[in-house]
Structure 1
């Protein structure tokens, strides 16, 4: 029987996480013409793994890497009715494991982490044309709030 395990990322997971980050960036390139060509990184994953203000999780399927996600604590804006918020990101699932509720399980564990940190506001960003991701986030209760627009 196949088993999904969600666990905290460890420093030794960094190589697979860095590869997953590049896969995530490649998947998002069609949605964002402003991304620079070549390799770059969204996150300092090594720092996040060690931080008390961030939680990086890994999903494994029968012991093999299947996905990941993170939450980090960010300050609220002076006009928000909250002082701090959790920001979710680095949501990635290996293509052959998509549709198996892995992201929902990761978000569930990240929600538990945010509750332990005393946070009740959780935010994330998703490209407007990334319909599959939007549906996955709505499935766990996220609602659309703001559309970021640009003019070149």
Structure 2
């Protein structure tokens, strides 16, 4: 694609020197290093476009497509000063949006300095909307606005909930973190603090898993919600002991079975409703529409290649996607990458199945009147 004498093409490895020069010219803070640019040139989930004039690179745009989701992030956009005002940034961004959509992504997100009024004006003119901010985000201490645009060509209609995002503080407390988000969105008296996160983990843990600390049992998490003034329903494809496949030690399995049996006993005593069936998407929609909050167990395989059980909090659903808050923020991500993450309905159904037994688990909670 071209804009007068400017031509767009995919970036190549031999563009590295020119890209590094553009980075040095266009940015005074938060520059991408030459090593980082080299990484993005070969990254599997990157969309890297350059704008050329007379074979010289005059600008570039870089998008990162988050694995396993319908979300992409504009990582960087730059045009040399001498070529600004010619619409090159708009053409780059429009082409990136089309490529993003072709990769099955529904949303393109970005961060921009609150002081960069020209860039903000550009993004707004192209349909991007502000949906949050980061304070003290850049090296100069300036605030970053969070903006996004739905690049898929459909208007999603569904249920969207106001749910805060909370980052798990340990590698084994995704369940408590997801539950805290859900409870806080129904009752702001709930504290989003590590002490409460760990307290819930102590109450709901399976004790053992494949290695390291045990994760949280769905019934255990539901009981924690009930103890804090909520009602809870649990949807499970099996009511026998969970997560035993990855544990070799018979002694550990025996402990996990004992924990499971006690959770089931307490569920009957405390009025936790147990369904020996999966939570289907149509029922998920109805629960959210009725004002409930839902936690779902997913396999992280399609996110990070690891087959680990992981709890997320559902924040919305429409005719195309389920949206989740993922409490697990790794070193390569920004918080924005884990919030209201859109996952295609078919993809989500696959992600919400774990292990050889194809376990499916979900917890629905409501605040007691």
- Using the size of structure 2 for normalisation, the TM-score is 0.34
Query: Secondary structure of 1:126's partner?
Result: strand
- Equivalent of 1:106, from 61, 82, 92? 92
- C-alpha displacement at 1:84, in angstroms? 3.8
Name the residue aligned to 2:51.
59
**Runs of 4+ displaced beyond 4 Å:** none
Cα distance in structure 2, aligned partners of 1:40 and 1:49: 12
- C-alpha displacement at 1:20, in angstroms? 1.4
Asked whether the 8 Å contact 1:21–1:90 carries over to 2, the reply is no
- C-alpha displacement at 1:85, in angstroms? 1.1
Unpaired runs of at least 5, structure 1: 30-34, 77-82
Cα distance in structure 1, aligned partners of 2:123 and 2:35: 21
For residues 123-144 of structure 1, give each alpha carbon's deviation from its aligned partner in whole angstroms, at most 9, with x where no partner exists.
Answer: 0110000001111111211111
- Equivalent of 2:83, from 66, 77, 97? 97
Higher Cα Rg: structure 1 or 2?
A: 2
Cα distance in structure 2, aligned partners of 1:75 and 1:55: 13
Alignment of 1:71-150 (within 5 A): 71-74=63-66, 83-150=69-136
Cα distance in structure 2, aligned partners of 1:110 and 1:68: 10
The aligned length equals 136
Asked whether the 8 Å contact 1:55–1:113 carries over to 2, the reply is yes
For residues 15-71 of structure 1, give each alpha carbon's deviation from its aligned partner in whole angstroms, at most 9, with x where no partner exists.
Answer: 011111222331xx4xxxxx6xxx862972222111220011110123322111110
Unpaired runs of at least 5, structure 2: 142-369
Query: Secondary structure of 2:14's partner?
Result: helix
Name the residue aligned to 2:13.
11
Cα distance in structure 2, aligned partners of 1:128 and 1:11: 33
Asked whether the 8 Å contact 2:20–2:34 carries over to 1, the reply is no
Cα distance in structure 2, aligned partners of 1:22 and 1:93: 12
Residue 25 in structure 1 maps to residue 27 in structure 2: yes
Cα-Cα RMSD: 2.6
Asked whether the 8 Å contact 1:56–1:68 carries over to 2, the reply is yes
